[in-house]
Amino acid sequence: MVAREPDDPPTLLHLHGGGYVLGSAFGYTPLAGALALAAETGVLVPDYRLAPEHPFPAAIDDAVSAYRWMLDRGLDPGDLTIAGDSAGGGLVVSVLLTLKREGLPQPGGAVLMCPWVDLAVELRDDDTMRKSAAAYLGGHPADDPIASPLGADLTGLPRLLIQAGTGDDRLADANALTDHARAHGVDARLELYPVDAHVFQMFWSFLPEAKEALQAAGRFVRDSEPREDRQAG
């Protein structure tokens, strides 16, 4: 966990990217630290299991366990936010859908940075993404709504902040997810930034657009308000 102050409670759960096959909590410490400063809270970055050794739904199970740990600390679910970048953004939606299925309380909101949600790789043919999806799914159907949320019923999910670069090759995912969420009554806000890099937020130390995006994410987290009886159903 990283935080601005030692006593800051971990109210933000960040799920790192890497196509479900790469990445670690250690490698995403700088981004988590920037988020902690922007959101003025503690950020928990779990080392969820990676494919192909641990295919679907191992990553989801680990992320849900991390969320349960936060709840077990007595934190109000409405005060919590789940964030993720790239595949981690898709994992966030999978976690929200799993919470809904299991009747667990939803967080106050979710931040999705350049999310990858098209595991069927239909929006843009990409060999690298196709291989990552195959490794993660391990033979599991790509149209499972928990794995590929573009085919899921998103009704009842918390408000979403979706950020993407206008030149990002995964921009179609962000657009499709926003439209799909809104069609199911979800409060989904899409923010576009004039950059080409995927997960440009990682370059906050020198890229003005990245710093602006993190500040917007921080405001979104700080503005989250507890809502009574936020229970999946």
Q: Which residue has the tokens 């999806």?
A: 133
Q: Which of 168, 173, 180, 224 is catalytic?
A: 168
Q: Which of 14, 118, 198, 224 is catalytic?
A: 198
- Between CA 205 and CA 34 the distance in angstroms is 9
* Angle separating helix axes 29-39 and 208-222, nearest 10 degrees: 60
Q: Which of 86, 132, 148, 224 is catalytic?
A: 86
- Between CA 156 and CA 232 the distance in angstroms is 7
Chain centroid to CA 95: how far? 9
- Between CA 224 and CA 53 the distance in angstroms is 36
- Is 168 catalytic? The answer is yes
- Is 65 catalytic? The answer is no
- Is 198 catalytic? The answer is yes
Q: How far apart are the first and last CA of the chain?
A: 31
Q: Which two tokens stand for residue 36?
A: 């902690």
What are residue 2's phi and psi, to 5 degrees?
A: -125, 150
Catalytic residue ranges: 86, 168, 198
